[in-house]
Structure 1
């Protein structure tokens, strides 16, 4: 059972929603209009980024009171993956890079002003 008043829950919830800066409709459009696996790269070979993006979408569409312990684990994983990718931003134009596509599949658009990059991504 998830205690939604627990400080750890609150921290994970806020981190996740701070890093996942795409609205549900934007993420849905991205996921369903981008071929599975196209122009993305997995941070780890055994991670299916597209499937993880679908889980992010499901979590984004839930109310805080409906979050499960599995959702909480996914939120932690996605936050860690996003932070890791942001710390390793390419030096080239990010708009056409698989790096951006991977982040967007996880619900984070790195071209937005609210996106931390480099050392700032550690927060």
Structure 2
């Protein structure tokens, strides 16, 4: 995988792995039950979370396919500059399910570093 795609993935996925994990647990919780943390949220959201915890050198072909999908999804639904924008909650929640919060500025400093190569 090339550095450009890896960097773009980390630009569009602007939630930390901790934030995404917490969001997936909240999003999948119901009054009757709460998912086990490692199964909470969508399959895609769990895969994004898994990739966020990996080094680039450890990516599988499935991981690279997911990275392309997430980058394409965010670009299809957002302006190129990724400036914060308010939208309806269903739209925002769908983007947050893949690690992108459209209300967050792109220059936000991350509280946790992404894995190195």
TM-score (norm 2): 0.70
Can you give the 5+ residue segments of structure 2 that lack an aligned partner in the other structure?
A: 30-40, 80-84, 108-117
RMSD: 2.2
Report the CA distance between 1:62 and its aligned residue. Answer: 0.7
Output the CA distance in 2 between the equivalents of 1:55 and 1:11.
20
Aligned match for 2:94, one of 102, 106, 111? 102
Partner of 1:16: 9
Output the CA distance in 2 between the equivalents of 1:111 and 1:68.
31
Residues 1:59 and 2:51 aligned together = yes
Report the CA distance between 1:110 and its aligned residue. Answer: 0.5
Aligned match for 2:73, one of 78, 81, 95? 81
Secondary structure, aligned partner of 1:99: helix
Matched positions, count: 91
Report the CA distance between 1:93 and its aligned residue. Answer: 4.6
Partner of 1:32: 25
Secondary structure, aligned partner of 1:15: helix
Assess if the C-alpha contact under 8 Å between 2:70 and 2:98 holds in 1: yes
TM-score (norm 1): 0.67
Secondary structure, aligned partner of 1:34: helix
Report the CA distance between 1:102 and its aligned residue. Answer: 0.5
